[in-house]
Structure formats: C-alpha cells, structure tokens
Amino acid sequence: MDIDPEILFRALGDTTRQRCLVLLQQEGELCVCELTHALDAAQPKISRHLAHLREAGLVSDRREGLWIHYRLNPALPEWVRTVLRATAEGVAGHPPFASDKAALSRMPDRPFSRDWA
C-alpha cells in the first residue's frame, strides 16, 4: 500500500482529525458516536472528518448493525505507522488529547465493550 505524503500530512493537519487518530490508536476501534462524545463535537463534523481520513487511506471502517466502527487502516506502511505512533506519544499528555481519552472513558451506555489489555 502506498500513501502520498502530501495527502497524509494534509489529513493530519487538522486538530479534529488528529484527535480521532490518536483515540483510534489508543482504543483500537471506535464508532462514530463514541468519537462524537469524546470530542464533544457535532456528528456531521466527525463524520466528514472520518470520511476525509478514509479517503486518505488512513482508516478503514466496518459496519455492525447501526454502527460503523473505524480503526487505523491495517495496511498502512511502516513509516506511516511510525509517524502516527510518534505523534500519539508526543501529544498524548497535552490538551485536548488527554481529556478526549478521559471523556471517552466517562461515556455512558457505550455501545460495545472493548476489553483488550
């Protein structure tokens, strides 16, 4: 799989998309309503940014009933994974990324249990 670096970094160049990617990296798989809640953002906004990430090849999606689960695209080249990992580690402690994770874990009635160490 090949990723155009211009498309990659333009996709990374928006805070909303960064926050989604960092959460996906930390949580593995999330549906739109979880991201919407974690970021406290309007649903169409999240949906459109996820579409952007999907078109850039960064995430893949999987439907399960009403829900659509997003995850990092498993076919990403290693250097892109390194970029995403370094970024997630670099920003994890700073706002708004730290509170996103907290908000997600506080979400009531999460549609799926995602128990993985």
Partner DNA sequence: ACAATATATATCAAGTACCATATATTTTCG
Partner DNA sequence: CGAAAATATATGGTACTTGATATATATTGT
Q: From the list DNA, a second copy, none, pick the one residue 18 interacts with, judged by a Cβ distance below 5 to 8 Å according to partner type.
A: a second copy
Interaction between residue 91 and a second copy (CB under 8 A): yes
Whichever of 42 and 86 has its CB closer to a second copy, that residue is 86
List, in sequence order, the alpha helices (H) in 1-117.
5-12, 15-27, 32-39, 43-55, 78-91, 97-105
21 close to 71: Cβ distance less than 8 angstroms: no
Number of residues that bind a second copy (CB under 8 A): 20
Interaction between residue 26 and a second copy (CB under 8 A): no
Interaction between residue 73 and DNA (CB under 7 A): no
Would you state the torsion angle of the CA atoms of residues 97, 8, 37, 98, taken in this order, to the nearest 10 degrees? -10
Residue 56 main-chain phi, psi, to 5 deg = -80, -10
Stretch that binds a second copy, among 4-12, 34-42, 63-71, 101-109 (CB under 8 A): 4-12
Q: Which of 28, 42, 105, 114 binds DNA (CB under 7 A)?
A: 42
Classify residue 46 by burial, with Cβ atoms within 10 Å: 0-12, 13-18, 19+.
buried
Locate 117 and state its tokens: 């160490």
Whichever of 64 and 89 has its CB closer to a second copy, that residue is 89
Interaction between residue 23 and a second copy (CB under 8 A): no
Q: Which of 40, 55, 64, 89 binds a second copy (CB under 8 A)?
A: 89
